[in-house]
Every structure is written in C-alpha cells, then in structure tokens.
Copies of this chain bind each other. A is one copy, B any other.
Amino acid sequence: MSSAAPSSFPAPTNNLVSPLLTDLYQITMAYAYWKTNQHRRIAHFELFFRKNPFGGSYTLFAGLDEVLKFLANFRFSDSDIDYLRNTPQLSHCEDAFFDDYLSNLDCSEVIVHSLKEGSMAFPRVPLITVTAPLGIGNLIETTLLTLVNYPSLVATNACRMVVAARGQFWEETAGANPPRAYSPPSKLNRGGGGGMIGGRGGGTSSGGVLGDSLYFSKTPRKSIQLAEGGPLDFSRKKPRCVEFGLRRAQGPDGGFSASKYSHIGGFHATSNLLAGKILNLPIAGTHAHSFVQSFTSLDSVVGASVKRKKGGSDDMVELLPMALQYRQETGWTDTNDGELAAFIGYASSFPDGFLCLIDTYDTLQSGLRNFIIVSLVLDDLGYTPRGIRLDSGDLSYLSLECEFVFHQMADRFDRSFFFDLDIVASNDINESILHSLNKQGHAITMFGIGTNLVTCESQPALGCVYKLVEVDGKPRIKLSNDMEKVLIPGRKVAYRLFGEAGWPLIDLLVGVNEADQPSVGERTLCIHPFMEQKRVAVVPTRVVKLHRLVFDGKNGGVVLDKVSSLDDTRQFVKDQINHTRPDMLRYVNPGEYKVSVSEQTFRFLHNLWQSETPVRELR
C-alpha cells in the first residue's frame, strides 16, 4: 500500500471516532487475511439495510460527512498498535503484521461511492459501496455502520414527524433558507391559512362569551383534513418542530447527532447550544419549571424594568406595578404569585422573547392568566410577546382553550398580538401523538420533541449491514434460511426510474457488466429479486444513476464537490418528499416502493444460490 495519506480533511467531530472504534473481529480477520495473503485481493462491499424503519416506506440516508472525515483521517496511532500487540488474542501474531501492515495502513487504496446525502433510500439498494483491498475494506466496516446507522435513522424519524406535524413537508417557497434563530412562524413565511386568524379580532369572539368556556362551544372552524394522501389545510399556522432531546439521548453525541440530522429531516431548530455553535443551526428555548419554582414572591421582582419602546420616550419602566394593575382589571387575583414574579423576571430579561412555560402550578387558572397579564404590559411598552409552552395535560384541549382565551383577550383589550402568539407543546410527543392531535384538533404552532425523536423510540436501530459481494471480480453470496438475508451478489449499478407523474417509480439494480442498462423511453424489465412472478415493465421518463464517487484514496481522498452543506441536504430532502408518491407518506400502511433487479441479475443470483446450496437429506 501507499504510505501517502489522502489529502487532509477535517477530523471526525467526535474524538472517539478512530480506527480502533471497531470490533475485535475486524482485526482478527485482518490478521487471517494477511497471514493467508488474501489481504490485497480487491473486494467490493455494500452497506445497506433490509427494511425501512418505523413501518414506513422510505429511509433518509445520512452520516456521509462523518464517514468521509473518518476515511480521510484513518491511521492507527502508535498507542493503538501497542494495545493491539498486547491483547491476549493477538499476542501470538507476527510482528510484521503490526509493524509493516497495520502501522502503515490508511485509506489510500479505498474507493467509495454513495447515494447523495439526504437521499430517500430503500431496502437492498446500497447507501455506500466500498471497493478496496480485502484487509482495509473489512477493517472500516464497523465504524462506517456506526456512522451511518443512527444518523439515517434519526433523520428519517425527524422527517416523519415533520410530515406528521405539518401534513406536508414545508410550506415555504422552495429554496428559502430556514432562519438562523428562533423566530416565531408568525414573522416568517406564514403560508396557507387565512380564515379566523387572518385579521385582528376577526370572527373569534362572535361565538364565545367572556370567561372560560370549552373549546367545542366556539365558532366552528374549517374542518381539518387528515394527513392521509394530501396536505392539511388548518385555518391556523402550520406547526413547526423543534428538537429538545439532548438530555434523553443515548450519550452526548447521540444528542449532538440528533440535533444535526433532525435539521436535515426538516426540524426548525434545536435546543442544543453545542450543535448551534458547531453546525450553525437555529437554536430555541426559553425557560423551565425550575425557573418558575425558584421565584417565591412578588418581592423578588420589585424594580424589574424594561426600556419603553413606544410612545416617544425611552425611559425605564418598572413592570410589577403595571402587572398588578392588569391583574386587578382582569380579576385574576388568585394566580400563583411566584409564577407571576417569574414571568415578570423573564420579561425584564427577554422583553423581545417573552415565551412562558405556563403549567407549573395550574395551566388555565394560573399560568395562562399570569402570561396574559405580563403580555399586556409588554405590549403597552412596545414589545411583542411570543407565546406560551404547554408541557403537560391534554394538549388538544389546552391549546384550543388557550387560543380561545387569547382571542377573547384580543377582543377585550383590542390587541392584535394575541392572534400571533405561539403555542408550543412539548410533553412526550411522538409521531402517533402528532397524528392523533391532528384528528382531535389543536392550536399548537410548534412542537418541542425530545425523547421520541432522539431515541427513535418506536425503532431505535436501523440495522444497516455491510456485506462482501465480490472478491477479485468473483461475485460472492451469503445464504440464509431467511430469504430476506440472502445477498444479491456482485457489483451492481443502481438506478432510480422516474415516471410521467414526476415521481420515482422503482429502483433497479443491474450488474455492472451487463450490456443492457436502462435508459429514458426504453422498456425495461424489472424483477423482484426473489420472486420471478413479481415483475413489471417500466418506460422511464428519467433515469438517475444513484451512486456517485465520494472518496478516492488514490486521487486526493474526499471528492470535495460531493460534500453538501446541511442546508443543501435539508433542501434536497424537502424536494424529494414534495415529489414523492403521496401514498408512500401515509402513517398507516404506507404504499411500498419497489426495488428490483434486471433479468440477468435475477438469473445470476438464482444460479449461484442453487450451486452454493447443498441438498439436504431427510430420512
């Protein structure tokens, strides 16, 4: 092998990512290859998964950027070599294995092709292929899997949640960049909608009476279409999703990766500051229950004041007296004092970012009312309150009730900001709850999602595998009693065939040396890899070759123009989701997307399978 390292490229984000972050058996195999002189045979590996996660119809491929960093910097350190040399399992190995082989090993002979990061991917179509000498090709297996499995899983989970929350992916104009900071949707790109929140005071109080009333007594709203098959058309803001999962993640970089890859999947912001700093992601967050609890009486906010922004003067104005006046005026004198103090304290610190958690003591009887009292004060002084967060209870009922009271207040005090308030919900939200909330109706404008997003609770592992499919030009197969686990042998080219409707029809795997490769307008026979009867003739309007060269160790390593920014990848995801067969986005029983093989590949697979399988005898 060459000892010239591939061109320099940033190190992996996590310092644990190194050649030794792998399984022992990769090293024992490397030794056995080296010892039997197999290590330089050219092998071809495919990294793929066998089943889409979450009962869904697609997977988003993610993690390529860290894979490239790992490959570009692959080198065992001296202390790694020392460690290996002294492990009991390897202590008998010949010195030359460590000194000549491992010490000099890098990825200069490795060639990697992959899907574009953010691609919708389907079972058996490789996310990544590796062509390399057998030794190094095997050694990178575990690390590559670790770097692809979770990012792809969490990006997919995030995207599914965004689709569930919004009923469609994004309403912004294609190409618009997501904002760099937590700005409530009211200020940005509000699309669709109209109706009851379109105008100040419009239509909201007509059916209600002042005082608390249940949401079903209100003015009828536009009916809510369910997410199946088409966009929702709420007469409200389309909810956004924000990632709040760091504390519940599976380790620090579980949290960091969740922030990163949920952005690709369409999340609007993260609470994670380190991800904000390193990845330049929009961040979000205001305060917790402990903040509210820590204030015990109104005394603690005597003197808390903000600069007046309207009415000509810019004097400092104390908030407490004004708040007490509104408290008197509304008659809400029994709200929790500590909570009111906390909201005043928060308002004096963040007059432009006043969003309060209102369920510390009692959501409707205390939190909501204290928020409204302080909101009115801020509005008087020229600041626009942001909204509320609900973290417990019946989110459908509470959000609608809060919205209703806001609309009452808009009317009573003649203030328009009440129509633009965010209602953030954040209590153990998952994809199923999002769909359920759509059915129940709600007034939530933003979902804060933690545990279920970052741990991918309904399926916490994707199950990618990395399989040898060819050695020295000879296709290899692995058999299994479980048909799903049988490999499609040999190097293949993967195509995505598009139809007249503009969306992809089918993926097709064709042996790399086959004469017939698909092309636009030509009839192509596509066969299920294991069931000859399942076949279809496709005349594609567009044919996309799915894999691109992303790493070529001999020629400078990482192919730089194939590295996408996070925002570009996010946009690519959005474009694909917006051009996907609608039935594939269903939550229940989504339509399946087919992955097929050419006729020649089908024959080849089944002949090899036959020839490698001993005939069993039963007596």
Contacts and interface: CB of A to CB of B under 8 A. Distances in A.
Interface of A: 13-18, 20-29, 31-33, 35-36, 38, 41, 43, 45, 79-80, 83-84, 87-89, 92-93, 134, 138, 141-142, 145-147, 149-150, 154, 180-183, 244, 246-257, 271-274, 276-277, 283-291, 293-296, 300-301, 304, 334-336, 345-346, 348-350, 352-353, 359-362, 365-366, 392-393, 451, 454-457, 460-464, 466-468, 471, 474, 476-482, 485, 612-614, 616
A20 B277 CA distance: 9
B276 A24 contact: yes
A474 B296 contact: yes
Contacts of A183: 88
Residue of A249, A286, A477 with most chain B CB atoms under a 10 A cut-off: A249
A483 to B, nearest CB: 12
Please name the 4 residue pairs, one residue from A and one from B, whose CB atoms are nearest each other, closest first.
Answer: A25-B285, A24-B285, A88-B181, A145-B247
B467 A461 contact: no
Contact of A304 (B36, B360, B478): B36
Contact of A146 (B80, B249, B481): B249
A253 B28 CA distance: 23
Contact of A80 (B277, B304, B361): B277
A88 B182 contact: yes
16 contacts: A14-B15, A20-B277, A21-B256, A23-B272, A24-B285, A25-B286, A28-B285, A32-B350, A38-B294, A88-B180, A150-B250, A290-B468, A336-B614, A361-B613, A451-B463, A455-B460
Contacts of A29: 287-288, 290-291
Contact of A361 (B45, B87, B274, B612): B612
A273 B360 contact: no
A360 B254 CA distance: 33
A344 to B, nearest CB: 9
Given A182-B89, A336-B614, A252 B252 contact: no
B286 A36 contact: no
A21 B255 contact: yes
B293 A478 contact: yes
B460 A456 contact: yes
Given A21-B246, A182-B89, A350 B28 contact: yes
B467 A457 contact: no
B248 A149 contact: yes
Residue of A147, A273, A300 with most chain B CB atoms under a 10 A cut-off: A273
Contact of A248 (B36, B83, B145): B145
Contacts of A478: 289, 293, 360
Contact of A276 (B38, B87, B244): B87
A23 B180 CA distance: 16
A256 B145 contact: no
Residue of A35, A142, A250, A474 with most chain B CB atoms under a 10 A cut-off: A250
A28 B286 contact: yes
Contacts of A466: 290
A221 to B, nearest CB: 24
A15 B18 contact: no
B300 A36 contact: yes
Contacts of A294: 33, 38, 41, 43, 134, 468, 471, 476
Given A28-B353, A359-B480, 17 more contacts: A13-B16, A14-B15, A14-B252, A23-B271, A24-B272, A24-B284, A35-B345, A35-B348, A36-B348, A38-B294, A146-B255, A250-B454, A293-B478, A365-B614, A392-B482, A392-B485, A455-B455
Nearest to A180: B88
A22 B285 CA distance: 11
A111 B36 CA distance: 59
Contacts of A614: 334-336, 361-362, 365-366
Nearest to A70: B252
A467 B290 contact: yes
A256 B16 contact: yes
A451 B455 contact: no
Contacts of A28: 285-287, 349-350, 353
Nearest to A91: B181
Contacts of A271: 23-25
Contacts of A134: 294
Contacts of A25: 271, 285-288
Contacts of A451: 461, 463
Nearest to A334: B614
Nearest to A393: B481
B32 A251 contact: no
A83 B291 contact: no
B150 A254 contact: yes
A295 B612 CA distance: 13
